[in-house]
Structure 1
């Protein structure tokens, strides 16, 4: 059962951007990243992680901001389909969370999944 992620669900889920240590977000180069969708033993789970990565002249700091995982449906899904589900989960997380973070943040999204990249490069009418 899929649930839609909203700004309210982030606040109610215990994630409050006011709790993020602003010292890590001041100065330096900012980057937002993700690491998502690994092939698990049962190939039925997927997830997304958002963390903050800050590089200053003296140090590099990385902190986990939010993570979410889901179990796939009982009906068997292919690995490419689970990878796309993970990408959708990441998009839901990032759209709700990044609205509350500074606009000047440099945002980077990573994936090592060529299936997701190929799907994103398709024209919308072929998706």
Structure 2
């Protein structure tokens, strides 16, 4: 950082409390939709494929997402909240992991055309933790 006109003070072009400064379009490599064009439901259950390992090393965002789902199946909305990413960005990352055979995405369970109450409660609990 440059000194402030000889005063010795460091100039910051960002706020220290702002947190990570990686933009979602950087994480998704500029994409706004999954490569497969698939649109994942917010209540879709995401789980890791047992024993599947990435063919190439994953970047931090994809690796973190895979670690989350390896702990157990989770709804997409909860994963987005925990990852602190917009849902659209998470859908792109999820599509990449799905294409690589590392995760499975199941449509929300329904009964007579209604979402599964258990899954809705899990999503609500995840949102409350925010």
Scaled by the length of structure 2, what TM-score is found?
0.26
Question: When you count strand as a share of all residues, which structure comes out higher?
Answer: 1
Question: When you count helix as a share of all residues, which structure comes out higher?
Answer: 2
Larger Rg: 2
